[in-house]
Amino acid sequence: MKEFVVIYEWTGHNYSAYAPDLPGCIACADTLEETEGLMGEAVELYIQALKEAHHPIPEPITKAKLVSVGG
């Protein structure tokens, strides 16, 4: 099983998400919870489409970590 980093952003009106290691794999919705669900589906469909086209599945190389700052 591979795990891909997904970035979630508040746009001021809704949430959007993308997976840096899966170009073009995106989702957006009104709430974070909806966006998470849609992004899960988007990743699954993206991987399925790659398999059906006999393309390699990219290796997840993006890492993410929170950084704490004082203030």
Angle at 53 between CA 48 and CA 59, to 5 degrees: 60
* Domain definitions of the chain by residue range: 1-71
The predicted pLDDT at position 31 comes to: 98
Q: What is the pLDDT of residues 4-50, one digit of tens each?
A: 999 999 999 999 999 999 999 999 999 999 999 999 999 999 999 99
Question: Which CATH code for domain 1-71?
Answer: 3.30.160.250
Q: What is the pTM of this model?
A: 0.89
Instruction: List C-alpha distances in Å: 64 to 5, 12, 61.
Output: 7, 23, 10
Label residue 71 by pLDDT band (50, 70, 90): confident
pLDDT number for residue 9? 98
